[in-house]
Chains A and B, each alone.
Chain A
Amino acid sequence: QVQLQESGPGLVTPSGTLSLTCAVSGASISSYNWWSWVRQSPGQGLEWIGEIYHSGNSNYNPSLKSRVSISVDKSKNQFSLKLRSVTAADTAVYFCARGSGSYEDWGQGTLVTVSS
């Protein structure tokens, strides 16, 4: 089974950049096609952020597309999320997951708070 672990700052200042990494263990990141990010605002539902193919192609949620980028680092067996110009509305638990559209493996999630 594939294990995923998110890491990154738990606090980001408004207008700054949120940066998270998802470390993959139990398999090579190249062994599976798509890797994704999903977030959940406090007490709210799930929102798809975007996904990346192991070769580098990516898809993003149109609502975030102008601010988001996802990259993959095969040498470190990890993929990353950057979200620019954050506001309080970006406060959420961020999950990384394996797959595109349906996700069998998830990270535990990491809470990122946007506050000064």
Chain B
Amino acid sequence: EIVMKQSPATLSVSPGERATLSCRASQSVNSNLAWYQQRPGQAPRLVIYGASTRANGIPARFSGSGSGTEFTLTISSLQSEDFAVYYCQQYNNLPPWTFGQGTKVEIK
């Protein structure tokens, strides 16, 4: 099973600033990596798939990069609605698909 590790656990950022979230895989997942946003009491929302492709309706301030074992989600200018928990997930080759433990983006 591929283990996904996210850092930091919590990121304190002021509105308008940039947020950079990291995700590391225990072995290569190529570009088969998704990012989700989850607000309290809601289902996760797909933000990025294929490591760098924005999902439908996702603003351009969200960008994803990386391949292999190291990935980054960048939010260029944080808006109030962006404060949430973000999860990465790998879906390379064969199941089980695995998630990271999440990064909480909170208001500084």
Q: Could you give, for residues 73-108 of chain B, a 1 whenever the CB lies within 8 Å of some chain A CB and a 0 otherwise? A: 000000000000001011100011111111000000
Interface contact A104-B89, CB-CB below 8 Å: no
With A46-B89, A62-B1, A107-B43 in contact, is A102–B98 under 8 Å at CB? no
A46 touches which one: B45, B49, B87 (CB < 8 A)? B87
Which of chain A's residues have a CB closer than 8 A to the CB of B44? 38, 46, 95, 103, 106
Which residue on B lies nearest to A95, using beta carbons?
A: B43
B-side contacts of A51, CB under 8 Å:
95
Number of B residues with CB within 8 Å of any CB on chain A: 25
Contact flags A87-116 to B (C-beta < 8 A → 1, else 0): 000000001000011111011110000000
Is there an interface contact between B49 and A48, defined as CB atoms closer than 8 Å? Answer: no
Asked if B11 is at the interface (CB within 8 A of a chain A CB), the reply is: no
Q: How many residues of A contact B (CB 8 A)?
A: 22
| Interface assignment of A26: CB less than 8 Å from any CB of chain B | no
Contact B101 A45 (CB under 8 A): yes
* Nearest neighbor of B97 in chain A, beta-carbon distance: A48
- Contacts from A to B (Cβ < 8 Å): 38, 45-48, 50-51, 59-63, 95, 100-104, 106-109
Q: Which B residues contact A (CB, under 8 angstroms)?
A: 1, 32, 34, 36, 42-46, 49-50, 55-56, 87, 89-91, 95-102
